[in-house]
A and B are shown apart, each in its own frame.
Chain A
């Protein structure tokens, strides 16, 4: 992997194959898909961050001419498996008993056009019993905080490597916990000349892809077809099969050009609602969300990251203990995976004697958080690289020199080794006698391979 620097075999500039169609407007996006007899859908969303649903009366909306089908949580609950989410499945196709964030999907209407669907939404009467919301990580973790979920939800913790902690719903309002350790971080910190603890706060942003979320569904007998802006058509296929209890080979997902995703269109979201409406209406249904609704569909994780980092007086990093709390919002989406990756990356590209990391996804009554370009890496980099700089300045060392002194070395014999494990292998190679710079003895290589498992945690 770390071969000598040479030029790419692809030297010339090329016209992107999709360029001319996109420049002239000829390119077809999912937004452009229309089917014969297609209806248009709109979604009624919760105006409350946290409430119990008392009753939903759709009769006036159903009576509106042009309305073909209306679905609510009462329809969702009858599905073979009405929940989705990556690893931990806590998000209902439509709110079933509670709403858990401002914007939560409560009901959906399919009508002959979007205007009629919007009018019908205004005629749906939803009654709520308001509950105390938890708006922040601190509120969610406080003693006696209101619970988003009263009972454990379906799903399982993510399967990870040996010695890693991976827990589903370990505490009230905590969706997921990830932990790993290498060496005895507490002991190393105690021995360190300096220990610095700093806390960083990361904000919540939206993907703001210009093509809105858009899906068209058609149900023909046993077959379900989707034309979707989703970035992950096969993952979506499997979710639809599970939710609707159909064999996977009866689900067909079509993907066109996607007008920006940045992670916002990863994994299942509103697609099952569109299928449910198409099923009930007996006609194809298109649901195109507004950009406003996009802002209420998914965000990047806000978070609080606390780093305790040890360093010797001459500026060598020794150990880092990290506690990471990411705000997962109301539902799982990809939060568990994001937490794993944030925790994994928090030690940055540096050498450590010991590390210990705990990372959590915390449930709050806010928009669900999930995949976003960087996938936990931006949160980790912000905290880690800010603190590295702070420590250098505190010690009076140039921040550039401080990084250079502590960086993992690059180079080594393992074609597919991680940067961290190649660095480990080099260290091991140099310790063994007569080791060449790139190879080392077979024994050293074996040792290095064994250590690579831990070494890679340093990525």
Chain B
């Protein structure tokens, strides 16, 4: 058995992002932000944040196409910043558009915005409900109107910090590995892998789990066999046929992901989680190998050749 703790600063350094939320007369919304959907779930997470604030069904929200002529600026889809950093910009944009709608409705209804509540594209004032669609059509006519909310975030610079800014959030992970080592062949088999990470408060728990599972499996491959190898200046396995990545058969017999929710600076307490699963896997496996056979491997991947060589060197 081996343990490991991974930690990295998350969200980028002194990062910033901008977002727009467009609310159409029909109550359908478009979120415009430049966190690219790379399979991590930015589309759903950012739409869900907007839907929550606008009190709309999730399927009334669409994540807009990204082009740099129209989409507000984002520093890029990396550093696990989509939910926590871009998400804050989306949250502010949704809050801004909400305020505009309440002001518009207050003017129509001859009251103050704080008497009103937006819910399911209806304005509620005490016991009365005023659907917004006819209210907008009645006032604007024509093609109706779009309310456009703006939001941004800038993580403050701090020249006293080594990186020039305080870490926006910390991305810890905890790994436990149980291995079986074949002393004759040097083969390492991971029987059990448990990976924990802190989502702050998850915006989409299934996606969080997927992120940790995927990252940890990527790290498992690098720990045991995956490597782009060179002989001199020439790569020897730089084709998909020869380059070995983890397959389904490489999954540990027992593979468990634990999501903690300890709060974070993102929307509704969220944190980024996309990289966390990568961090501690290699060391947990090295530590488990040491625990199993009393031999320390200090070079990844822990191939059978290296395990045998290390065993022979120590005996």
Do A and B form a real pair?
A: yes
Cα distance A97–B26 in the bound complex, in angstroms: 59
Partner of A232, one of B7, B77, B239, B296: B77
- Fill in one digit per residue for A217-247: 1 if any B CB lies within 8 Å of its CB, else 0: 0000000000000111111010000000000
B240 within 8 A of A: yes
Question: With an 8 A cutoff between CB atoms, is B182 at the interface?
Answer: no
Contact A231 B75, CB 8 Å, known A17-B58, A203-B227, A452-B166? no
Contact yes or no, A17 B161, CB < 8 A: no
What string of 1s and 0s marks CB contacts (under 8 Å) between B35-48 and chain A? 01111010110011
Proximity string of chain A (428-457) to chain B, C-beta cutoff 8 Å, 1 when within and 0 when not? 000000000000000000000010111011
Q: How far is the CB of A347 from chain B (nearest CB, A)?
A: 10
Q: B238, B268, B287, B301: which contacts A389 (Cβ < 8 A)?
A: B287
What residues on A are CB-neighbors of B126 within 8 Å?
A: none
Residue of B9, B41, B233 near A50 (CB, 8 A) is: B233
Does the CB pair B299–A201 fall under 8 Å? Answer: yes
Quick check: is B312 within 8 A (CB to CB) of the other chain? no
Residues of A within 8 A of B8 (CB): 341, 345, 374-377, 380-381, 459
B298 within 8 A of A: yes
- Residues 404-433 of chain A, each 1 if its beta carbon lies under 8 Å from chain B, else 0: 000100000001111101000000000000
B117 within 8 A of A: no
B37 touches A10 (CB 8 A): no
A17 lies within 8 A of B59 (CB): yes
* Chain B CB within 8 A of A143 CB: no
Residue B76 at the chain A interface, CB threshold 8 Å:
yes
Instruction: Considering the complex, give the chain A residue whose CB is closest to the CB of B229.
Output: A204
Say which residue of B39, B269, B287 sits within 8 Å of A260 (CB atoms): B39
A10→B52 contact, CB < 8 A: yes
A255-272 near B? 1/0 per residue, CB < 8 Å: 111111111011100000
Query: For residue A376, which residues in chain B have a CB less than 8 angstroms away from its CB?
Result: 8
Question: Is A208 within 8 A of B243, CB to CB?
Answer: yes
Whole-angstrom CA separation of A103 from B234 in the bound complex = 9
Binds B, one of A59-67, A316-324, A363-371: A363-371
Interface size class of B (residues with CB under 8 A): 35 or more
Q: How far is the CA of A261 from the CA of B42 in the complex (A)?
A: 14
Identify which of residues 66-87 in chain B touch chain A, using a CB-to-CB cut-off of 8 Å: 66-69, 71, 73-79
B279 CB within 8 Å of chain A: yes
- Cα A295 to Cα B239 with chains together (Å): 7
Interchain nearest-CB distance for B240 vs A (Å): 5
Q: Are B233 and A374 in contact, CB atoms less than 8 angstroms apart?
A: no
Looking at the complex, which one of A14, A162, A262, A418 makes contact with B9 (CB distance below 8 Å)?
A418
Instruction: Please indicate the chain A residues that have their CB under 8 angstroms from the CB of B268 in the complex.
Output: 8-10
Segment from B94-102, B130-138, B258-266 that makes contact with A:
B258-266
One of B141-149, B183-191, B200-208, B247-255 contacting the partner? B200-208
Give the contacting residue for B300; candidates A133, A208, A382; CB below 8 A.
Answer: A382
In the assembled complex, the Cα of A345 lies from the Cα of B69 at a distance in Å of 37
Q: Which residues of A contact B219 (CB under 8 A)?
A: 374, 378
Kindly report which residue of chain B lies nearest to residue A199, judged by CB atoms.
B298
Classify chain A: how many residues form its interface, as a range. 35 or more
A206→B159 contact, CB < 8 A? no
Are A371 and B78 in contact, with the CB atoms below 8 A?
Answer: yes
Nearest A residue to B72, CB-CB: A234
Which one of A203, A371, A416 lies within 8 Å of B168 (CB-CB)? A416
Note all chain A residues with C-beta closer than 8 A to B6: 377-378, 381, 385
With A and B bound together, what is the CA distance between A383 and B296 in angstroms?
A: 12
Contact A161 B68 (CB under 8 A): no
Selected from B9, B169, B262, B300, the residue in CB contact (under 8 A) with A344 is B9
B298 touching A160, Cβ below 8 Å: no
B40 to chain A, nearest CB (A): 9
Chain B proximity of A436: nearest CB distance (Å) = 20
Q: How far is the CB of A14 from chain B (nearest CB, A)?
A: 6
Contact between B34 and A102 (Cβ–Cβ < 8 Å)? no
> Smallest distance from the beta carbon of A203 to chain B beta carbons, Å?
4
B residues in contact with A393, CB < 8 Å? 290
- Measured CA separation A443–B37 after assembly (Å): 46
Nearest-neighbour CB distance to chain A for B272, whole angstroms, equals: 12
Q: Interface centre among A6, A17, A299, A454, by most B CB within 10 Å?
A: A17
Determine the chain A residues whose CB is within 8 A of the CB of B221 once the complex forms: 205
A382 close to B282 (CB less than 8 A): yes
10 A-B pairs whose Cβ atoms sit less than 8 Å apart in the complex = A164-B163, A200-B298, A231-B76, A231-B77, A231-B78, A261-B36, A341-B9, A375-B78, A453-B160, A456-B167
